[in-house]
Amino acid sequence: MNRLKELEAKIGYQFQNFAYLEHAMRHSSFCNEKKLNRLENNERLEFLGDAVLELVTSEFLFDKYPEMPEGEATRKRASMVCEQTLALCAKEIELGSYLLLGKGEELTGGRERASVTSDALEALIGAIYLDGGFTNAKEFVEKFVLNGIEEKQLFFDS
């Protein structure tokens, strides 16, 4: 609980319904180990966060590159929200350190695994969206994903 309050301070967003944040940080391995309902893991929030992320990124590209054709914009968006880029964004806020993981996932480096941290970032976006609406989710994406996105992409392209 205190660790998640630290995460709230780090991202500059305070949850009205703290359960959303807890849910976003709950990996499936933790739920399996604790014999929780599979709907208690963060995968549904990840699904929702992915859609919010795609919309915010699409609007960003639409505004920033008014001459860019649709096909090129689609490819650019895909590269911007790929697993590696999102994992880098998650690493910048040390998101992996806040995850609830099962013992096996913990022992095999789950806190640093790109697939786990990028999914958790999407779940966090979904949680913010449910808790505070689209504007708050968009502000989070702009600050923690789209800010400096060109440098993040160059890092992975090279």
Residue 112 CB coordination number (10 Å): 13
Q: Choose, from 46, 50, 105, 119, the residue flagged as catalytic.
A: 50
Q: Is-catalytic flag, 157?
A: no
Q: Choose, from 46, 119, 122, 131, the residue flagged as catalytic.
A: 122
How far apart, in whole angstroms, are the C-alpha atoms of residue 53 and residue 154?
20
DSSP H helices in the chain: 2-11, 18-24, 28-33, 43-64, 70-80, 83-92, 103-107, 114-141, 149-157
- What token pair was written down for 68? 């860019």
Cβ contacts of 38 within 8 Å, gap of 6 or more: 28, 31, 32
How far apart, in whole angstroms, are the C-alpha atoms of residue 71 and residue 26?
36
Q: Residue 114 gets which letter from DSSP? A: H
How far apart, in whole angstroms, are the C-alpha atoms of residue 4 and residue 14?
10
Q: Is-catalytic flag, 67?
A: no
- Catalytic residues, by residue number, are 50, 122
